[in-house]
C-alpha cells in the first residue's frame, strides 16, 4: 500500500481479526482471535491518522512508536515495522495479546469518538508473529561481551525485560525463579485463551539462545537455596522482579470453608493441567469448576480470567459478583464482553456478606450495594443497601480481589532492604535502585499489582540504570587498578 493511503479511517471501518464462535472457543483454551491476513492488517493499519501528537504513543507505558510501525505495515514494509516495534519492547508479541489496549493506546486514539480506534494491539500481534515465522527475530547479540554479571530474581515480565536489555548490552545474565518454568504470571497466571503458552516458551528460548542462564526451581533465601547475600556476592548487580502473589483476603464469615479459593491457586492449577502436569487439587475436583455452580468475587482482569476459565471447565453456572456497576469496573471492557458472550452472569452492585455451608461452601449470602459519595480519589464509594440480602448457590467461590506483596524480608532474609508500609520494595525512581548498593527492583513488587506492560517498562528502565551503574563500577575498578 502506498504511503499516500494513510488516514483511511473515514472510508475503512474498524475490523478485528476473525473471532471464533462461542460454541467453538469454550471447548478449549486456545486463543479466541485468528491472526490478520496480510491485506487486512495493511488495511486496518492504514486507518491511522498519523496525528502530530500521537496520544496512542503517549498513553503506552513503553511509548512504542505506534504511528510509525502502523504506517510501515500499511506500506508493506513489515520487517521494518518489526524492527521498530521491538526497539522499545522486549516482548511485543505478548503485549499485543494481553495489554488492555481499550484503556491505553486504542482508548486514547484520536479517531475513537466517531470512527472507532485503530486496532493497534491486533496489528502489533500480526507484525511480531509474522516476524517469528519469517525468521526475522534473532537473539540479542551484544556488540561486545562484558565481564560483569547480573542476577535477576523473578522470571516474569519485569525479569524478562531486564534480562533481554542487559544481555543485549553484553552483560552476563543469570535469572533465578522459584517455579519450574520461566514466565511467572505469563505462564501460570494468564489463561491460554488470552496467551497460548508456546508464545511464552518461544520468548524464553530466545533469551536462552542469547546466553541468558535460567536457574529454575530456585527459591532465593529458602533453606538449601542460595541466599540473597550469596547472590549479591556472586554478581555485580541484582534486579528484583518477583511480582506480588499474596491474595487479598475476603473479610467475611465462612471464608475458611473448603471450596473458597484464591484466584491464583485456581488459575495456576488450570494452566498446569493444560501444560500436561499432574495436579492433585485439580484432579480431585477442589480446583476444578466442572459440574459446579461458581461464584467469582471481584471485578478486575483476574476475575475475568477466572470466570472464563470456569466456563471452559464445564461449570453449571458462573456468576461474577462485583460491588460497583459495569461503568466502574476496573477490568478491560473487552474481557467483560467476551465473558458475557460465553455465558457468564454479572451480578453488579453486590458484595458477599458471608459464605455458608456445612462441610464445604454451599452458597454465598450477598447484599446489594449502591454508589455513594466520592472518596479521596474521586471514585464513588459503594455502600450497603439496607435489607437487601440475597443468596446465590455456590459449590466453588473464587476470590479475585487483587494481590499484595509477600514478606520479602522473610523470603530473602535481608532485613536492611527497605520496604513501604504496603510491603512493596522502595526504590529511587531516578535510578531504579533500592537502598542497598547495586540492588535494583521493578514491576509489581515496586508498584503493587499492575499491568504486564508496566513490568516490561520497569525492566527496561532498570536495565538502562544498571548498565550505567556497571559501567561506572568498571571504570572505578580500572582506575584503582591503574593507580595501584
Residue 95 and residue 167 share a domain: no
Out of 361, 384, 399, a domain closes at 399
**pLDDT at residue 245, as a whole number:** 86
Instruction: Give the residue-averaged pLDDT of 44-49.
Output: 95
Confidence band for 482, pLDDT divided at 50, 70 and 90:
low
Q: Tell me: the pLDDT tens digits for 420-450?
A: 988 899 999 999 999 999 999 999 999 999 9
Residue 144 covered by a domain: no
Residue 435 structural domain:
149-244+405-483
Where a domain ends, among 382, 399, 416?
399
Q: Are 45 and 104 in the same domain?
A: yes
HSE-CB of 396 using CA atoms within 13 angstroms: 28
**Which pLDDT does position 2 carry in this prediction?**
44
* Same domain? 198 vs 86: no
Residue in the block written with cell 532492604: 417
Residue 139 domain-assigned?
no
Domain membership flag for residue 140: no
Whether residue 445 is found in the same domain as residue 328: no
pLDDT tens digits for range 368-379? 999 998 887 788
Q: Characterise 300 by phi-psi region: left (phi > 0), alpha (psi -120 to 50), beta (else).
A: beta
CATH, residue 114: 1.10.1060.10
Which of 342, 367, 399 is at the close of a domain?
A: 399
Based on the fold, state whether residues 378 and 448 are members of the same structural domain: no
* 334 part of a folded domain: yes
Give the tens place of pLDDT for each residue, 288-339. Answer: 999 999 999 999 999 999 999 999 999 999 999 999 999 988 888 999 999 9
Whether 278 and 389 share a structural domain: yes
Please tell me whether residue 348 adopts helix, strand or coil conformation: coil
- Sheet of 317-321: strand order equals 260-262, 396-399, 293-297, 317-321, 345-347
Give the chain's domain count: 3
For residue 453, CA distances in Å to 35, 192, 365 come to 21, 18, 37
Tens digit of each residue's pLDDT (9 = 90 or more) over 380-431: 889 999 999 999 999 999 999 988 887 655 668 788 999 998 889 999 999 9
Pairing of strands 396-399, 260-262: parallel
Please give the residue that has the higher pLDDT: either 103 or 150: 150
Rounded mean pLDDT, 106-116: 85
Sheet containing strand 149-153, edge to edge, reads: 213-216, 172-177, 149-153, 237-240, 439-441
Give the Cα separation of 480 and 226 in Å (integer). 31
The model's confidence at residue 1, banded by pLDDT at 50, 70 and 90, is: very low
Q: What is the pLDDT of residues 233-263, one digit of tens each?
A: 999 999 999 988 888 888 899 999 999 999 9
How do residues 448-477 score in pLDDT, each as one tens digit? Answer: 999 999 999 999 999 999 999 999 987 766
**CATH number of the domain to which 318 belongs:** 3.50.50.60
261 and 197 share one domain: no
Task: Give yes or no: residues 68 and 192 share one domain.
Answer: no
Q: Is the domain of 119 the same as that of 155?
A: no
Residues 263 and 380 in one domain: yes
Amino acid at each position: 500500500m502506498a504511503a499516500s493511503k494513510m488516514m483511511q479511517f473515514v472510508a475503512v471501518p474498524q475490523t478485528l481479526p476473525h473471532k471464533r464462535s462461542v460454541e467453538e472457543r469454550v471447548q478449549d483454551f486456545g486463543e479466541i482471535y485468528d491472526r490478520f491476513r496480510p491485506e487486512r492488517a495493511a488495511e486496518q493499519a492504514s486507518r491511522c491518522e498519523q496525528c502530530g501528537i500521537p496520544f496512542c504513543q503517549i498513553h503506552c507505558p513503553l511509548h512504542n512508536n505506534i504511528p510509525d510501525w502502523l504506517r510501515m505495515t500499511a506500506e508493506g514494509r513489515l520487517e521494518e515495522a518489526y524492527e521498530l516495534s521491538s526497539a522499545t519492547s522486549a516482548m511485543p508479541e505478548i503485549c499485543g495479546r494481553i495489554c488492555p489496549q481499550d484503556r491505553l493506546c486504542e482508548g486514547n486514539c484520536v479517531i475513537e469518538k466517531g470512527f472507532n480506534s485503530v486496532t493497534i494491539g491486533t496489528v502489533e500481534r500480526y507484525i511480531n508473529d509474522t516476524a517469528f515465522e519469517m525468521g526475522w527475530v534473532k537473539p540479542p547479540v551484544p556488540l561486545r561481551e562484558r565481564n560483569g554479571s547480573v542476577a535477576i530474581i523473578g522470571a516474569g515480565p519485569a525479569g524478562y525485560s531486564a534480562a533481554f536489555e542487559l544481555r543485549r548490552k553484553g552483560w552476563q545474565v543469570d535469572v533465578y525463579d522459584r517455579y519450574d518454568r520461566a514466565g511467572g504470571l505469563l505462564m501460570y497466571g494468564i489463561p491460554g485463551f488470552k496467551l497460548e503458552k508456546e508464545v511464552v516458551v518461544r520468548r524464553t528460548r530466545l533469551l536462552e539462545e542469547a546466553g541468558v542462564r535460567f536457574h529454575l526451581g530456585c527459591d532465593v533465601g529458602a533453606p538449601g537455596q542460595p541466599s540473597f547475600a550469596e547472590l549479591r556476592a556472586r554478581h555485580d548487580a541484582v534486579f528484583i522482579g518477583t511480582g506480588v502473589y499474596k491474595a487479598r483476603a475476603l473479610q467475611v464469615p465462612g471464608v475458611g470453608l473448603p471450596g473458597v479459593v484464591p484466584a491464583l491457586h485456581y488459575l495456576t492449577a488450570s494452566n498446569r493441567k493444560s501444560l500436561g502436569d499432574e495436579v492433585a487439587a485439580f484432579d480431585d475436583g477442589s480446583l476444578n469448576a466442572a459440574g459446579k455452580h461458581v461464584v467469582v468475587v471481584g471485578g478486575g482482569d483476574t476475575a475475568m480470567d477466572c470466570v472464563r476459565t470456569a466456563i471452559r471447565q464445564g461449570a453449571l453456572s458462573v456468576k461474577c459478583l462485583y460491588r460497583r456497576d459495569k461503568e466502574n469496573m476496573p477490568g478491560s471492557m473487552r474481557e467483560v464482553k467476551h465473558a458475557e458472550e460465553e455465558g457468564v452472569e454479572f451480578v453488579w452492585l453486590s458484595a458477599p456478606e458471608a459464605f455458608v455451608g456445612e462441610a464445604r461452601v454451599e452458597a454465598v449470602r450477598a447484599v446489594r450495594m449502591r454508589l455513594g459519595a466520592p472518596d479521596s480519589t474521586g471514585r464513588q464509594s459503594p455502600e450497603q443497601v439496607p435489607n437487601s440480602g440475597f443468596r446465590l448457590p455456590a459449590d466453588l467461590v473464587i476470590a479475585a480481589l487483587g494481590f499484595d506483596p509477600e514478606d520479602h524480608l522473610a523470603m530473602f532474609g535481608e532485613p536492611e532492604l527497605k520496604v513501604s508500609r504496603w510491603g512493596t520494595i522502595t526504590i529511587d525512581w531516578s535510578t531504579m535502585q533500592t537502598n542497598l548498593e547495586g540492588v535494583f527492583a521493578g514491576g509489581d513488587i515496586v508498584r503493587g499489582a499492575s499491568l504486564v506492560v508496566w513490568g516490561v517498562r520497569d525492566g527496561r528502565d532498570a536495565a538502562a540504570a544498571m548498565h550505567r551503574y556497571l559501567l561506572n563500577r568498571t571504570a572505578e575498578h580500572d582506575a584503582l587498578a591503574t593507580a595501584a
